[in-house]
Each structure stands twice: as C-alpha cells, then as structure tokens.
Structure 1
C-alpha cells in the first residue's frame, strides 16, 4: 500500500476505510479517511487498531463483514447494496459499500451516503400507496355508476316504462357515463403523473448507483 494511494483516499469525497484482517471475520481499522469519518459522525474517534465491531456493534446486520471476508478469500470485488446501519433509535446511516482487496491482509471499502437514495425509495413507496388508494376509490365509484346504468338497461328490457320515466332514467344513465368518463380521465392523469415522477426518481437513483459502482479503488 503506497503513500500515493493513501493521499488519493485522503482527498476523496467518498468514505474510505481500510481494514486489516486479523482472523476469520475479524477486521480492524487501519485507515479511515476524513470524508468517511465526517459522513459517519466519527471525526473525533480514535479508530486505528480498533476492531470494526468495536466501533460499530451492529455492523454485522448490514452484511459488510461478510463481504469483507468473502472479498479477502476470493479477491473478487463486491458491492454491498444499500443498507441501513442503526446508530441510535433516531439515527440511521444508509450506505452502499464497494469492497476490494488490496495486497496482503488489507481490504478497502469505499462507500457513499445514500440517505437521499433511501428517501427516493421511500417516496416511491409512498406514491405507490397513494396511487393504490386512488385506484381503489375510483374503482369503487366506477363500479357503482356501471351497476346503476346496467340495472336501468335491464329494467328497460324487462319492464314497460312510461316516456317520462324513460327520460328520467336515461338522464341518470347519461350522468353516470359522464362520471365514468371524468373518472377515467382523472385516473389516466394520476397514473401519468405518478409514472413520470417515479421515472425521474429511479433515473436519478440508477445514475448515482451506476456512478458509484464504476469507481475504481
């Protein structure tokens, strides 16, 4: 590991942590750049020589230790997808880690703060829930209008009605059809807006994720 490489990591806007493998699934901090410590709220932490689970007791929950061990054993780089690390009840770190083996017993993890990405995903989930509620509401009213109109048509076929009654019932059918038409247009508009909104979020998320995956460490 060269000083030039460490200098490069020092100036990286991404979080960088280099771990030394002590034994199976046991890794200690060897290097932890400023961007990473700031990102993780660990600026004043004395990290060097500390075991990873000593500083971050819940680290096994996000799969990072498994990835470190596998990359160490195989030499094949891995991306640990978006995971949340619970610092406290109200503070959760969202990270995507790219893990790569260096020489000897060293493994490096380069990561980014994915809080915005997690917010995008939550927003999409919220939009989908709202959309489902809108679909249920509109579907209920569409079925009501259709059932009423079909009932009137069946009445015409089965029973003789006066001209006055016929005109009244035809007005009801006309109004129901207008309501159906209006609700269909509203539904199409809602669907179009939701799809476009989610496409923008997914495009931004995919772009950011791909940029991160392409990083060379």
Structure 2
C-alpha cells in the first residue's frame, strides 16, 4: 500500500519505504503530534524525530533493534513530553538546535547549528536552522541519492503556511525568510515535507503560495 502520511492518534503508523531509509510516521496525543522513526536499511540503526508523547507507544515502535538517537525539532513542550522516558528506555543520544536546548528539560548531547549533519547508520541528514517559531528550531533534510529530497520541518512549515509566529511580525519575516532561502530556494518541487502535526505536503504544492503568505503576514 502506498504511503500517504495520513495518521491518527491511536491508529496505525504509516511507512514510507525508500531505497536506503525506512520512514515510519506515527501520530501521538493529546496534541496530534507527528513522530518519525528513521531506520537505515543497511545497518538497522534507528533515529527518532520528536519524542512528542506516548512514550510506551514510541518505545514499542522502536522495537528490539534499539534507538541510536533522538532529534527534538524545537523546544515547545508538545514535542518532548516523551523524551525523558524514551531516552531512559533506549539510551539514545539527544540532539537539538543550539538556541532551543535550554528550553528542553532533558540534556542535549549534541547541539545543532545550521548545516550540521546527523547520521543514522549510512544515511546522513542535514540540519537547517529556521528562526521564528522558536529561536532554535531545526529542520532535517535527507537528500536521497536515489530520488528526491525529504525534509522534516517540525513546526516551521505545514500545508498552507509557515508555523505560528504568535503575531510577531519580525518573527514571521524571519521564519518565512529562512524557509524560503533554506528550503524552497535550495530544494526542488518534488521534496517531500513531513511536518510536526497533520498531513504531509511537498515544496511544489506550497511554492505557488509564498507570495500569498507574505502578503497575509502569517
């Protein structure tokens, strides 16, 4: 069955099978957050993006192969509620954006700056620092050598717009600017977008609306 990215809290995960990487998406409550488990096909090493909630379900999803690392996309509490329990259960190494790490109540082992890389087995992801939703939000880009790129955007980019900037015009300008230059200008339309909540999208689906977003201010 083809991957759709449509998941519900308490429902089955959805699995995106790539040549070198398997991406499993699951929704956890109570704020309908997405968590993504990435597994390198060659080594079976695994990385989790956002231990948002439902630690028991996430640890079950990880399974017997263990978890090497957890990346927290930003400091908002709905994205790290299960982090302590997942780390305690798996011993995973923790990653987060440098400017957000102090707001995450689990020690960050590796601070990420723009352009840093995170590995899961033989697969490499590149961190892009996107300022506006929070000071230290990071997206992770996987440039699949066998296909199009994939980007995990946390709460910085969704279908229909950038993330919440809390009625702060400067924060909105910053976030839209970073998303434009570091994602839309750098990656092709085929790039698959995996957001922190809700359905997936692509850069091609959202690109025609950049001017509209800029004009409306959110």
TM-score, scaled relative to structure 1: 0.24
Looking at secondary structure, tell me which structure has more helix per residue: 1
TM score, norm. by length of structure 2: 0.24
